[in-house]
Amino acid sequence: MADPTTRQPCVIVTGGAGFVGSHLVDRLVERGDSVVVVDNVVTGSWDNLAHLGDRIGRVEADVSTGLGLDGLPAGPPAHIDAVLHLASPASPPAYLQRPLETLAVGSEGTRQALEVARVHHARFLLASTSEIYGDPEVHPQPESYLGNVNSIGPRSCYDEAKRFAEALTMAYARAEGVSVRIARLFNTYGPRLRAEDGRVVSNLLTQAMEGRPMSVYGDGTQTRSFGYVDDTVDGLIRLLDSDVEMPVNLGTPTEFSVLELVEAVRRVTGTSAEVVHLELPADDPTQRQPDITRARELLGWEPKVGLMDGLARYADWLAGQA
C-alpha cells in the first residue's frame, strides 16, 4: 500500500502529447505529480514527451471512446486526483479536416473524461477556447460575454464542440458535484507548435525562416493576441490549484494586427520576406482580445513573455527542427 501522506498526486492529461498539453505535462512532472498522458497522437506526437522517458505513463487512445486507463502496464491508477482535458484538434486546418472527430472529442471525449473525474472524485479541468466567443462584438472579451458563434458555419465543428464541452462540464458540476475548472485559452504559440500547424504565428515564422512570401489572409488588419506557451501553462497550473469554478480567460491582452506580427517576424528572423494576401476564410474572426481581469484578480496571473522574446524562442525551436 502506498502511504497516502507521501503519495504523488496522480494527474491524467488528455491531449498531453499535443503542443500546450506537453508543456503542461513538463510542469506537472517538474513539481512531482505522477502524470498519465492519454492521446491518440493524431495532431499531437509522442516526440513532444520523449525527453520524459519513463517518468510518465502513456496511453494511446481516442478519448472519444474512453480513456483506456486499463491499458497501462501496471493497470489503471488506484487514485486519480485530477483530470485535465486538453484533447482536441486545435488549429483551423486540423479541425476543418476532421469535423466529425472534433465534434466527438468535444462531446463524447469530454463526457468520458468527466466520468473518470466523477468516479475518482477528481478535479476536472477543461481546456476551452476563445473560439467560444466566435466573432466577438465586444472588445476585449470578459468571461461574461456570451459570444457570437455561427452554429452552422464551417468552424462550428470546433466552436460548438467547445461550447458543448463547457455546458457538459457545468452539468457535471451541478448534477454530479464534480469540482471543475474551465480555462478559455486564447492564441498560444511557442516550441512544439508544429511548423505545419496552420496557425498564423507558425505560418508566418516558418515562411520567413524559409525565405518564402508570408501569407496574410485578408488585408491583415484583423487583430490577434499571441500568448507564449509558458505563460499559458503557468495560468493553467494556477487555475487547477485554485478554487475558481468559473471560466477564466488565459491570453495576452496586447493586440497586434497580423501586419504588425509580420513586422515582428521580419525583425526576429532578419528577413525581408514579402507578404502575399490570400482570401479570408469563412467565419474568420476580425478581432479577438482577452479581458484577463479575472485571472489577474483570482489567480494573480498575467503573461510575462513579450512577443519579440517569445518569437525568438519559438524561432530557435523551429530552427532546431529543420
Active-site residues, by number, are 158
Among 62, 159, 197, 291, binds a copy of itself (CB under 8 A): 159
Tracing cell 486540423 back to the chain, one arrives at 94
111 binds a copy of itself, rule: CB under 8 A: yes
Kind of pairing between the strands at 223-224 and 256-257: antiparallel
72 binds a copy of itself, rule: CB under 8 A: no
| Cα 209 from Cα 16, distance rounded (Å) | 28
Rg from Cα positions in the chain: 19
Cβ at position 182, least distance to a copy of itself in Å = 7
Q: Which three cell numbers stand for residue 132?
A: 467560444
Q: Which is nearer to a copy of itself, 104 or 205 (CB)?
A: 104
182 binds a copy of itself, rule: CB under 8 A: yes
Q: How many CB atoms neighbour CB 263 within 10 A?
A: 11
110, 127, 214 from 263: Cα distances, Å: 39, 31, 11
| Cα 258 from Cα 220, distance rounded (Å) | 5
Point out which span in 10-18, 49-57, 164-172, 313-321 binds a copy of itself (CB under 8 A).
164-172
Among 72, 170, 195, 259, binds a copy of itself (CB under 8 A): 170
Among 36, 80, 149, 201, binds a copy of itself (CB under 8 A): 149
161 binds a copy of itself, rule: CB under 8 A: yes
Q: Which three cell numbers stand for residue 120?
A: 475518482
Q: Which is nearer to a copy of itself, 168 or 261 (CB)?
A: 168
Cβ at position 291, least distance to a copy of itself in Å = 16
164 binds a copy of itself, rule: CB under 8 A: yes
Cβ pair 135, 148 in contact under 8 A: yes
CA angle (59, 318, 307) in 5-degree steps = 105
The reply to whether omega before 92 is within 30° of 0 (cis) is no
146 binds a copy of itself, rule: CB under 8 A: yes
| Cα 230 from Cα 251, distance rounded (Å) | 11
Cβ at position 104, least distance to a copy of itself in Å = 8
Among 148, 221, 254, 286, binds a copy of itself (CB under 8 A): 148
104, 116, 287, 290, 301 from 15: Cα distances, Å: 14, 15, 27, 24, 24
Using alpha carbons, select from 135, 184, 150, 128 the residue that is nearest to residue 284: 135
220 binds a copy of itself, rule: CB under 8 A: no
112 binds a copy of itself, rule: CB under 8 A: no
Cβ at position 166, least distance to a copy of itself in Å = 5
One character per residue 91-110, x = contact with a copy of itself (rule: CB under 8 A): --------xx--xx-xxx--
Cβ pair 104, 63 in contact under 8 A: no
Among 13, 63, 168, 239, binds a copy of itself (CB under 8 A): 168
Q: Which three cell numbers stand for residue 149?
A: 458563434
Among 23, 120, 123, 163, binds a copy of itself (CB under 8 A): 163
172 binds a copy of itself, rule: CB under 8 A: yes
Tracing cell 496586447 back to the chain, one arrives at 254
Residues forming contacts to a copy of itself in the complex (CB under 8 A) are 99-100, 103-104, 106-108, 111, 132, 134, 146-154, 156-157, 159-161, 163-164, 166-168, 170-172, 174-176, 182, 246-247
